[in-house]
Amino acid sequence: MYHISPSLLCADQMELRQTVVEVEKLGVDWLHIDVMDGNFVPNFAFGTDCIRAIRKEAKSPLYAHMMCTRPMEFIKPFAELGVDYYCFHYEATVNPFRVCQEIEKNGMKAAIALNPSTPVELLEDLLPGLSCVTLMSIEPGFSGQKFLTHTYKKIRKLRKMAGDSPVRIEIDGGADIPISMKCIENGADVIVGGYFNLFDSAYSLSDKYRAYSQALKNGGIE
């Protein structure tokens, strides 16, 4: 079973409320919210006021992808905002176990993200405490980049490591329909919906979402 998680960073920021309302009507499984501090990545995105406003409109779970240098500092504030999944970068801390424990202590589900050059083997001992692993298939910080094909190998390795674990594997970046299908075939569960598959100004978001979902089903992906 696959899931599509719309990335609000790729939406027209002047129409963010309308986008949230529209994706809610589509019945998405959760919303992907990129949080950038300008240090871990050279960009800024989605502060607490914006997330608070999104939470008021969205009934779907919120998946906060924390591209920040100090993930521990934001756990409690984001829990208070109503975030459901707190995804921090492995590269941003020397104490990933402690971060996971603090996330769970504050009532959120722990998730972790890996940059393209970070090997999945580093997560072996962490997997039992994770709800999801986000594999970056582009360099973090900016949308619209080309998919990095070595991601397929990382998906296969991680799926084998996870075994029967319920941990989900999310792919973030550059995944058009053919790439999305290949990612799912290799063991991914979640594809982040961005410029390459959902947010195309030539079509409505609803039309793109339905076409994307149908294309995956027609390709034998259930």
Q: Are 153 and 190 in contact (CB under 8 A)?
A: no
Q: Are 34 and 46 in contact (CB under 8 A)?
A: yes
**51 three-class SS:** helix
Of 164, 172, 176, 207, the active-site residue reads 172
Of 29, 34, 125, 200, the active-site residue reads 34
Provide Rg for the chain, Cα atoms.
16
How is residue 188 written in tokens? Answer: 């991914």
What one-character DSSP code corresponds to residue 127?
G
Geometric angle at alpha carbon 87, from 86 and 92, rounded to 5°: 120
**Scanning the structure block, which residue is given the tokens 């941990």?**
167
**Scanning the structure block, which residue is given the tokens 């992907």?**
32
Put residue 11 in one of left, alpha, beta given phi > 0 → left and psi -120 to 50 → alpha: beta
Return the H-helix or E-strand segment holding 101. Answer: helix 96-105
Could you give the count of Cα atoms lying within 13 Å of 93 in the half-sphere of its Cβ?
21
Is 200 tagged catalytic?
no
Q: Are 31 and 20 in contact (CB under 8 A)?
A: yes
Is 34 tagged catalytic?
yes
Give me the active site residues, please: 34, 172
